[in-house]
């Protein structure tokens, strides 16, 4: 069942990615003649070939409720543009050096240009939302914009929380804190918003959107933990980012929080001293120590189990969110996502 589900998800992701990529190129190309040196860079991250998971989720949610792909394509493209804007800025904030198998934008072109490209991607994401007015009408478009505004707000609040933890070297964190942070930072724009806005379009604003919060949260949380696990254990070629990059960045992952939970006071001091250093000061040996601690205390296995549990809860909540809909490929895709989240490499 797992492999079948993963195959279906992969096939539909590929299908949606083509549609979204074509529409996205159109929006970038129509501005390219104005300022080619900007828009060539704007197209850089989107052209590196992400999976378009968020856009696919948005399209699938809309189509599961009976909409046509064209109804939701504007919201899907906008989401993809906003996602890429977040990536550009995240890479700067985290000091990441690799993204989707290539050097990050600020490594290639410097900080000022990369910041501006991130801004351009964020601003450009408004265009497809506004353009969808012709198909959705002004009232529904305004509702989608409201949702987009909330998504962006929740995401930057979550990011601010994580940056604050790192900036102040917060180590007394619990799983509660971690889940609250990723609810805002990751889940809102990765899963909650795509499900909500898809349903909003599919039902022409005829459904209570709170029913998608739980499903989106559990799915997004499982996704984020798996993403953090891949950073430690995945194949860098396929994962597209540097191995142990999160440890170099001092990112507060579930594994790191668990490490602090189960370590002795002396060890905690040792970990804290490592995290106190800036990314440049943090050596390979420091990272190796953290990683060895995680292995010793089973932190990676612990996080994997939590991710499995959250994926199971997502499957349960799927029934509340989409259970009463008639069977369709889109519903199958949504149903298969929790399993795929855990199986992806």
Instruction: Give the binding site for another protein (CB under 8 A).
Output: 1-2, 175-176, 179-180, 183, 210, 213-214, 217-218, 221, 261-265, 267, 296-298, 301-302, 304-316, 319-320, 338-339, 342-343
SS3 assignment, position 68:
coil
Q: Which is nearer to another protein, 218 or 248 (CB)?
A: 218
Any residues with CB less than 8 A from the CB of 88 and at least 6 apart, and which?
45, 104, 105, 106, 114, 115, 117, 118, 121
Strands (E), the chain: 98-99, 102-103
Least gap, CB of 94 to another protein (angstroms): 24
Q: Are 70 and 135 in contact (CB under 8 A)?
A: yes
| CB of 258 vs another protein, minimal distance in Å | 9
Least Cβ distance, residue 53 to another protein (angstroms): 17
CB of 268 to another protein, least distance (A): 8
Nearer to another protein, 136 or 314 (CB): 314
Please report how close the Cβ of residue 194 comes to another protein at its closest, in angstroms.
17
Task: Give the contacts of 52 (CB within 8 A, at least 6 positions apart).
Answer: 13, 16, 17, 20, 21, 76, 80
Q: Which is nearer to another protein, 72 or 337 (CB)?
A: 337
- For the CB of residue 131, give the shortest distance to another protein in the complex, in Å: 19
Q: Which is nearer to another protein, 176 or 237 (CB)?
A: 176
- What minimum distance in Å lies between the beta carbon of 283 and another protein? 23
Nearest to 184, CA basis, from 194, 192, 195: 192
d(CA 196, CA 278): 38
* Closer Cβ to another protein, 139 or 305, answer by number: 305
Nearest Cα to Cα of residue 38 among 25, 52, 27, 28: 28
Radius of gyration of the chain (CA): 20
Phi, psi of 251 (to 5 degrees): -65, 135
CB of 297 to another protein, least distance (A): 7
Closer residue to another protein, CB minimum distance, 244 or 261: 261
Nearer to another protein among residue 216 and residue 245 (C-beta): 216
| φ and ψ of 102, to 5 deg | -135, 165
d(CA 31, CA 124) in angstroms, rounded, equals 10
Nearer to another protein, 104 or 335 (CB): 335
CA distance 93 to 107: 12
Could you tell me which residues come within 8 angstroms of residue 197 by beta carbon, excluding any fewer than 6 positions away?
58, 61, 62, 72, 75, 79, 144, 147, 148
């Amino acid at each position: 069942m797992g492999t079948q589900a993963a195959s279906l998800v992969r096939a539909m992701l590929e299908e949606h990615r083509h549609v979204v990529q074509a529409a996205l190129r159109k929006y970038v190309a129509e501005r390219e003649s104005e300022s080619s040196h900007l828009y060539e860079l704007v197209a850089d991250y989107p052209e590196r070939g992400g999976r378009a998971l968020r856009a696919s989720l948005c399209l699938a949610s809309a189509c599961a409720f009976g909409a046509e792909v064209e109804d939701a394509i504007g919201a899907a493209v906008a989401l993809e543009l906003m996602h890429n804007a977040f990536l550009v800025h995240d890479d700067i904030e985290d000091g990441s050096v690799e993204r989707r198998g290539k050097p990050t934008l600020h490594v290639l072109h410097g900080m000022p240009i990369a910041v501006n490209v991130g801004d351009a991607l964020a601003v450009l994401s408004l265009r497809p939302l506004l353009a969808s007015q012709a198909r959705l009408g002004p009232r529904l478009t305004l509702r989608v914009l409201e949702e987009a505004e909330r998504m962006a707000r929740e995401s930057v609040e979550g990011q601010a929380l994580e940056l604050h933890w790192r900036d102040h070297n917060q180590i007394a964190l619990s799983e509660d804190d971690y889940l609250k942070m990723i609810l805002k930072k990751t889940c809102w724009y990765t899963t909650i918003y795509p499900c909500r806005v898809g349903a909003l379009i599919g039902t022409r604003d005829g459904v209570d959107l709170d029913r998608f919060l739980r499903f989106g949260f559990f799915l997004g949380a499982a996704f984020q933990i798996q993403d953090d696990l891949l950073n430690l254990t995945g194949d860098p070629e396929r994962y597209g980012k540097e191995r142990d990059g999160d440890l170099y960045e001092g990112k507060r992952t579930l594994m790191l929080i668990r490490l602090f939970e189960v370590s002795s006071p002396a060890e905690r001091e040792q970990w804290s001293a490592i995290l106190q250093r800036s990314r440049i000061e943090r050596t390979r040996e420091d990272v190796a120590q953290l990683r060895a601690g995680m292995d010793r205390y089973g932190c990676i296995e612990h996080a994997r189990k939590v991710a499995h549990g959250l994926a199971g809860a997502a499957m349960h909540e799927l029934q509340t969110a989409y259970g009463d809909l008639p069977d369709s490929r889109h519903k199958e895709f949504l149903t298969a996502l929790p399993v795929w989240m855990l199986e992806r490499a």
